[in-house]
Amino acid sequence: MSDSIAQAIASVTAGIRAAEAAAGRAAGSVRLLAVSKTFPASAVAEAYAAGQRAFGENYVQELQGKAAELAALDIEWHFIGPLQSNKTRIVAETAHWVHSIERLKIAQRLSEQRPSSLPPLQVCIQLNVSGEQSKSGCQPHEARELAHAVAALPGLQLRGLMCIPEATDNAETLAAQFALLSGVRDELQQDGLKLDTVSMGMSSDMAQAIAAGSTMVRVGTAIFGARHYSQ
């Protein structure tokens, strides 16, 4: 088991390096976030032993449990799932990053609840780039107003944008949706916001996301295997 997680991380990392090179980008310009949702703390510990430090979780309870269990390890926890207002406190107290900011109200709560003993919570605004009603994220035309409001909150540091494109094999559709996010990022940079993070790309579309400018890929299945949901 240890071997297989370590080997999977090595092979995903090799894939990232190859995609960076193919896109003419510097080696090491894309970070790997290991998405450990549904997997036990022991799997996170194995990935940690293989050198992985940044982990992504989608469910507040799971984040809380694993962060407590693995408190002795120097892990950077990223919350990447939908966040309701009654759960913001746990995330504000536990996570280092939140990728899924889509409303100002949630951002305000996170800012207020961030303990002053901790550095600001690092956040990305999630954009709905596919236009699908079922998808989380703010609409691209709402991003500018939200970004400026989030950037002004004292407990948060706005780092960039995140998206989950449509689940499709169509390379052109994917490229257009990734490009939409990069375009919004460029606009915000021109406004003077310093954004260094483009969170896009998962197990199946990592290379396309890197070609489109991703700086952080969120990879679960290719590291930990297929997920089994118990509920």
Ligand X SMILES: *Cc1c(COP(=O)(O)O)cnc(C)c1O
Instruction: Name the site residues for ligand X (rule: CB under 6 A).
Output: 35, 37, 58, 80-81, 164, 202-204, 218-222
DSSP state of 87: G
CB of 39 to ligand X, least distance (A): 10
CB nearer to ligand X: give 103 or 148. 103
CB of 55 to ligand X, least distance (A): 11
Tell me the three state secondary structure of residue 191.
Answer: coil
Q: How many helices (H) does the chain have, and how many strands (E)?
A: 9, 8
Residue 135 vs residues 129, 192, 220: alpha-carbon distances, Å: 9, 28, 19
Q: How far apart are the first and last CA of the chain?
A: 25
Question: How far, in Å, CA of 213 to CA of 179, rounded?
Answer: 8
CB nearer to ligand X: give 45 or 206. 206
CB nearer to ligand X: give 173 or 221. 221
CB of 158 to ligand X, least distance (A): 18
Copy the structure tokens of residue 140. 């691209």
CB nearer to ligand X: give 173 or 189. 173
CB nearer to ligand X: give 59 or 148. 59
CB of 203 to ligand X, least distance (A): 3
CB 11 within 8 A of CB 225: no
Question: How far, in Å, CA of 99 to CA of 201, rounded?
Answer: 13
CB 217 within 8 A of CB 200: yes
CB of 191 to ligand X, least distance (A): 26
95 CB contacts (<8 Å, ≥6 apart)?
Answer: 63, 77, 78, 79, 121
CB of 224 to ligand X, least distance (A): 8
Copy the structure tokens of residue 114. 């961030």
The one-letter amino acid code at 98 reads V
CB nearer to ligand X: give 71 or 229. 229
Nearest residue to ligand X on Cβ basis: 220
